[in-house]
């Protein structure tokens, strides 16, 4: 997928990964997540932003199907 650097439209689907989840699970490595989302083929773009500034990461997806695949893998 391609990362969208502007602020995404509100209709994009959000998936949040909290720091608590990342710190309590060996399966949630920040670098792995970013590499995965950058290399997986997807039908839309994604946006990454801090969630409530310091509580985790909010990934927003242009195509809801991409958000579902992401959530199934990382949430």
Q: What is the per-residue pLDDT across 28-38, written as a single tens digit (0 to 9) for each?
A: 778 889 899 99
Which tokens go with 18?
């909290």
Cite the DSSP H helix spans in the chain: 19-24, 30-39, 64-74
Predicted confidence at residue 68, as pLDDT, reads 95
What is the three-class DSSP state of 41? coil
Where along the chain do its domains lie? 2-74
Predicted confidence at residue 24, as pLDDT, reads 83
Phi, psi torsion values for 33, nearest 5 degrees: -60, -45
- Supply the pTM of this predicted model: 0.84
Per-residue pLDDT 10s for the chain (75 aa) are 899 999 888 899 999 998 888 888 777 778 889 899 999 988 899 999 887 767 888 999 999 999 999 999 988
Predicted confidence at residue 53, as pLDDT, reads 66
């Amino acid at each position: 997928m391609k990362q969208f650097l502007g602020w995404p439209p509100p209709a994009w689907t959000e998936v949040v990964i909290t720091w608590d989840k990342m710190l309590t699970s060996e399966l949630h490595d920040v670098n792995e997540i970013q590499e995965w989302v950058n290399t997986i083929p997807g039908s839309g773009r994604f946006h990454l932003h801090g969630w409530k500034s310091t509580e985790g990461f909010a990934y927003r997806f242009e195509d809801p199907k991409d958000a579902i695949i992401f959530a199934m893998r990382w949430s």
